[in-house]
Amino acid sequence: MPPALLSIRDLGKHFGGFHALKGVSLEVEHGEFIALLGPSGCGKTTLLRCIAGFLAPDSGDIRIAGDSVTRLPPHRRPLNTVFQNYALFPHMSVLDNVAYGPRRHGVPRAEAAERAAEALQLVGLEALGARHPRELSGGQQQRVALARAVVNRPKLLLLDEPLSALDMKLRKRMQIELKHLQEKLGIAFVFVTHDQEEAMSMADRIVVMNRGLIEQVGSGTAIYATPATRFVAEFIGEANLLPGAPDGAGGLRLAFGTGAVPYHGPHPGADARQNHTGVLRPEHLELLDRPDAPGFLTERGVVEDVINTGGQTLVMVRVGDALLASRRLGMPGDGLNRGAPVVVGFRPEHLHVVTGEAPP
Ligand code: ATP
């Protein structure tokens, strides 16, 4: 098998006494769109900067197409980086900004201009080559930065929150454009974001990071439906967490309302010293019209809040000591008021169990 486009092995990085990367390993295939997702300070940018060569890791190895680049300076690595703040040259025309890279690599002026015009066409800015960056909107400047990054057709493009300076509408449009561009060019993208919707809608695989470690790598669907850890379950989307404990017979008992529900599905280990938590997504907790609804585990509760999120309704229900969320399509409907008694329930097959303690 040919080597992966990017192969990161056991990368470690300290800043003084602070351990920013604690042994990160990751493989990226040719043409893949990877999102690095995680809370502020989890090490996304540090990882990206190590790949780019702007930071030297303390330990570990980074290979591109099988060759170690760990000790190469940034400009000798076969990749390009797009930063959050575009970093365009203000005194140069848009075309010259894009042609700068090829020119620096010794490409003759006319050919560099031709390549730059082609790259500008890719991002839909062919008519604006003569302008200066200050004469462009934020979205257009971001497109120029992209054109500049892809003009040399690198195999790998690193992007550090490239859309975060844009307003929400433009950002959504650029997400779609960027994804199309990536597919058209066949360049692998490693894209840092702390916006899970952005990661979900764009990436082939999402790398969820937390405190300098990778918690899970998988498609958006996989990390939502089958989170590997309690952290991922809470970080991606919303989750009802049902604290659990081994039942002594290889299964678990999960607290639900005043009772406990038995759980015999797969879980990460029956080690009595570990804590297990049932994860139930709000769309799987249903409001039912009777407590003996077939196929459901049910409990009685009281509506504590009804939140209309436009097209969807989130109903917060107090069940025993727990406040659980139930989500459904459509408007709230009649009779669903604060204080109303309700029956909530879920199908046991929708439970997913992770290790880790649920909050008190
Ligand atoms: P954000 O989403 O806020 O950009 P991030 O996941 O990209 O966060 P990093 O920028 O990788 O986080 O930083 C990881 C940790 O390392 C943070 O706690 C940060 O304060 C620390 N750190 C990063 N760069 C340095 C540095 N040059 N010197 C000291 N500490 C640093």
Digit-coded pLDDT (tens) for 16-45:
999 999 999 999 999 999 999 999 999 999
State whether the beta carbon of 40 lies less than 6 angstroms from ligand 1. Answer: yes
CA of 289 to the centre of ligand 1 (A): 50
Indicate whether 328 pLDDT > 70. Answer: yes
Question: DSSP state, 30?
Answer: T
| Percent of the chain clearing pLDDT 90 (strictly above) | 60
Query: Hey, which of 11, 13, 14, 15 would you mutate to test ligand 1's pocket, going by the most ligand atoms within 8 Å of its Cβ?
Result: 15
CATH number for the region 6-225 comes to: 3.40.50.300
Indicate whether 360 pLDDT > 50. Answer: no
Could you give the 3-state DSSP secondary structure of residue 312? strand
Is there a contact between 12 and 59 (Cβ–Cβ < 8 Å)?
yes
Beta-carbon neighbour count of residue 160 at 10 Å?
Answer: 20
Is there a contact between 342 and 289 (Cβ–Cβ < 8 Å)?
no
Q: What pTM does this model have?
A: 0.89
Structure tokens at 276: 């297990």
Query: Hey, which of 11, 19, 45 would you mutate to test ligand 1's pocket, going by the most ligand atoms within 8 Å of its Cβ?
Result: 45
Q: Residues for the chain: how many in total? A: 360
Indicate whether 264 pLDDT > 80. Answer: no
CA of 45 to the centre of ligand 1 (A): 7
Buried b (16+ CB within 10 A) or exposed e, 339-360: eeebbbbbebebbbbbbbebee
Q: Can you give the residue ranges of every domain in the chain?
A: 6-225, 238-355
CA of 48 to the centre of ligand 1 (A): 11
Find all residues with CB under 8 Å of 108, minimum gap 6, and list them: none
Residue 260: pLDDT band by 50, 70, 90 thresholds? confident
Nearest partner of 50 among 10, 84, 4, 86, judged by Cα:
10
Spatial separation of the C-alpha atoms in residues 102 and 113, rounded to whole Å: 9
| Percent of the chain clearing pLDDT 70 (strictly above) | 94
Mean pLDDT of 261-287: 77
CA of 206 to the centre of ligand 1 (A): 20
Alpha-helix residue ranges (DSSP H) falling in the chain: 44-52, 94-104, 109-122, 138-150, 168-185, 196-202, 220-225, 230-235
pLDDT in tens, 238-257: 999 998 887 777 778 888 88
CA of 46 to the centre of ligand 1 (A): 6
Could you give the 3-state DSSP secondary structure of residue 325? strand
Q: Ligand 1: which residue has its CA nearest to atom 4?
A: 40
Q: What is the CA radius of gyration of the chain?
A: 25
Closest ligand 1 atom number to CA of residue 16? 29
Structure tokens at 247: 């039942």
- The fold of the 238-355 domain, in CATH, is OB fold (Dihydrolipoamide Acetyltransferase, E2P) (2.40.50)
Per-residue pLDDT at 268? 59
